[in-house]
Structure 1
Amino acid sequence: MAGELDDAVVVDFPLRGEGWMAVTTPAARIPSHGTDMLGQRFAFDFLKVDERAGTRFHPAGMLRANLVGVRVQECYAWGAPIYAPCDGVVVLAVDGVAERAWIHPVTEAARLIRNAWTFTPGNLPAILGNHVILRTGDVFAAFVHLAPGSVAVRAEQIVRSGELLGRVGHTGNSTSPHLHFQLMDSLDVMTARGIPCAFRRYDVEHQGSWMSIRNGIPAQRERLRSAEVA
C-alpha cells in the first residue's frame, strides 16, 4: 500500500477552516472506497465534524439523528466553499442535480444499495450529483456531490489555485454533505484510473494542539485544519 502512495501528486488542500475529517482515505486502505471503478482507487471523502467523539456531522444527538433524521442544510459541511487545489482548466462542470432536504440513515443506506444494483453509465448523475472536473497537465481532479446552484465555474474556464469552484452538498451517492475528491488519469470516469494524491500543507490536531503537515496524506478520522486563509 505505502509503495503506491510514494509518488503521489501534491496539490493544495481544497477546503478551508477546521473540523474536517477524512472518513475515507487511501492512507487507511487501497482502494479507498473498496473499488477501482470510476477512478476511485485513491479517493477521499471529507466530512466536517464537531468536537464530540466519532463523526458527528450535525448538531443533533444520535437518538434524533437515527430515529427522525436531520436537515441537510443544518449539517456542518453543507455549503462550505471548495477551492481549486491547483492551476488548471475546467473540463466539466455539472449543476442542476436536485438535493435531498432530509437525511435518515435507513433511507440513505437503501439509496446506496439501489444505486449500486442499478448502476449504468447513463445514470452517472445519480452517483456523482453535481460535480466539477479540473485538468492540470495529464491529471484530472474531480470534486463530487456539490450543492445545487453552487457550481461557480464553467467548462473551458482557466482557474488558479485558490479560486472558488463550488460548495459542499448532498447530491448523488452521498449519505451526508461531504466532499468526495479524487485525482485520475482521464476525463472519462468509466475508464479512468485513480492517481495517488497528497496535500501540500494542512494541520492535524494532536492532544489539543495543531501539528503542521507538509506533502501529507490524511489518516482516517484525523481532525484536520486548512493551513490556508479562508
Structure 2
Amino acid sequence: MSVRTAVPIAMRVSWLVLFALVIGEFVTDLPGPGWATTSLPAVVVFALMAATTVLQRRAAAPRGEPRPPVEVDPPVTGRWSALNSPADRTPSHGTHVYGQTYAIDIVADPETGEGAPPARPAFRWLWPVFRRNGAFPAFGLPLLAVGDATVVRASDGQRDHVSRNSLAGVVYLLLIEGNIRSILGAHRIIGNHVILDLGGGTYAVYAHVRRGSLRVKPGDTVRAGQALGQVGNSGNTTEPHLHFHLMDGPDLDNARGVPFTWRGVGVPANGETFTVAERAGERAGERTGAQAESRAAGQAESLPGERAAGA
C-alpha cells in the first residue's frame, strides 16, 4: 500500500477514534482517572490527525518540474464565470489532495437585459439561508466530454442538496458537513462524478454532477463534445457548479494534479467571464433535451418568489 493510499485511511480512522472517545465519555464509566481514559487518548489522536494531514498534503504535492498543460476542449458551452482558478494560484483550492492542484470551479453566468438583476443569485449574509437548486442557472446544464476518452468511473447516486450560499450555510458546510464528508472519503467530497481516461496518463474529473443525469457508465468510450450528464449540486459544494480538473491517475486518493488549458479559452482567472460556442459535431438533440429537462426541474424546485433557472 502506497503512502498516498495509507494516509487518507489513517485520517479517517483517527476521526472515528475521536468520535468513539467523545461518545464513550458520555455513555460509559471507564475505570481510572479521566486524563488517562479520555484526555490523553484524545491528545494522541489529535496529534495523529495533524501528522496525517501534513503527510497527505506532502504526498499529493507535485514532484519535480510540472507537466506542460494538457489542451482539452471546454466541458461546457454558453457563458460562464470562473472561481478558484489555477490562473490565480496553485493549489487553486488550497490543497493538493484528490489531484486538484490545478482544479477550477465554473458557474453559469448568462447575460440578462440592461437593468435586470444577474441570473445567478448573489451570496447573502443573512437571508435566505438556503436556496433551491433551480434558482441557479448552472443547474441541469449539459456536461461535455473534453476529448475522446474512456469512462473509468461514473457515479450519480448522491442527492443534490440545497445551496449553502449564505453566511450560515457556509459556516455549516465548513464546520459540520465538510468534516463529515472528509471522514467518509473523496467520493463524498466530489459528490456524483465522472472520470475520463484521456490517454497518455491524463484523467479528467467532473465533480458535483446532478443525480440521475449520467448518460455514461464505466467502460464506455466517448467522443469529444458528447454529453456525459448535467451540472448538479452534490458533494461538498455551496451552489450548483462544475468542478473540473485533470490528474495523473484514476484514483482520487493517489493522483496528482495535471495542468490544463481549454481550447479556445485558455485558463480563465477568478471572476473572468468566458463564452464557449456550441461545437461542430455536438449532439444538438441531446443538449436541447437536457436544457428542457433543466428548465422543467428549475421551475418545479424554485421556492416561492425565486426566479427559476431558465425562466
Same fold (TM over 0.5): yes
d(CA) in 1 for partners of 2:122, 2:204: 35
d(CA) in 2 for partners of 1:175, 1:57: 18
> Are the structure 2 counterparts of residues 38 and 121 from structure 1 closer, same or farther at C-alpha, using a change threshold of 3 Å?
farther
d(CA) in 2 for partners of 1:75, 1:176: 8
- The answer to which of 99-108 and 125-134 deviates more is 99-108
Q: CA deviation at 1:194?
A: 0.2
Trace 1:131-210 onto structure 2 (pairs within 5 A). 131-137=193-199, 138-202=201-265
Identify the residue that residue 227 of structure 1 maps to in structure 2.
277
Identify the residue that residue 188 of structure 2 maps to in structure 1.
126
Q: Deviations over 1:67-102 (max 9, x none)?
A: 123221120110010000100000000011011135
Identity %: 37
d(CA) in 1 for partners of 2:107, 2:247: 21
Gaps of 5+ in 1: 203-215
Identify the residue that residue 112 of structure 1 maps to in structure 2.
174
**Counterpart of 1:113 in 2: which secondary structure?**
helix
Q: CA deviation at 1:50?
A: 4.9
Would you say the 8 A contact 1:10–1:197 is kept in 2? yes
Could you tell me which of 145, 154, 165 is aligned with 1:93? 154
Q: CA deviation at 1:29?
A: 0.4
Identify the residue that residue 79 of structure 1 maps to in structure 2.
140
Would you say the 8 A contact 1:13–1:226 is kept in 2? yes
> Are the structure 2 counterparts of residues 85 and 169 from structure 1 closer, same or farther at C-alpha, using a change threshold of 3 Å?
same
d(CA) in 1 for partners of 2:66, 2:277: 22
Q: CA deviation at 1:126?
A: 2.3
Amino acid at match of 2:159: A
> Are the structure 2 counterparts of residues 45 and 59 from structure 1 closer, same or farther at C-alpha, using a change threshold of 3 Å?
closer
Count how many residue pairs are aligned between Structure 1 and Structure 2. 210
d(CA) in 2 for partners of 1:222, 1:5: 25
Q: CA deviation at 1:116?
A: 4.4
d(CA) in 2 for partners of 1:61, 1:42: 26
Larger RCO (CA within 8 A; separation ≥ 6) = 1
Identify the residue that residue 218 of structure 1 maps to in structure 2.
268
Q: CA deviation at 1:217?
A: 1.4
Q: Deviations over 1:36-89 (max 9, x none)?
A: 01101000100123558xxx87555666x8412322112011001000010000
> Are the structure 2 counterparts of residues 108 and 29 from structure 1 closer, same or farther at C-alpha, using a change threshold of 3 Å?
same
- The answer to which of 22-31 and 116-125 deviates more is 116-125
Q: CA deviation at 1:11?
A: 0.1
> Are the structure 2 counterparts of residues 119 and 103 from structure 1 closer, same or farther at C-alpha, using a change threshold of 3 Å?
closer
Identify the residue that residue 77 of structure 2 maps to in structure 1.
16
d(CA) in 1 for partners of 2:235, 2:118: 18
- The answer to which of 23-32 and 98-107 deviates more is 98-107
Could you tell me which of 34, 39, 46 is aligned with 2:106? 46
Would you say the 8 A contact 2:98–2:186 is kept in 1? no
d(CA) in 2 for partners of 1:88, 1:194: 18
Gaps of 5+ in 2: 1-64, 285-311
d(CA) in 1 for partners of 2:151, 2:139: 23
Structure 1 or 2, whichever has the larger Rg, is: 2
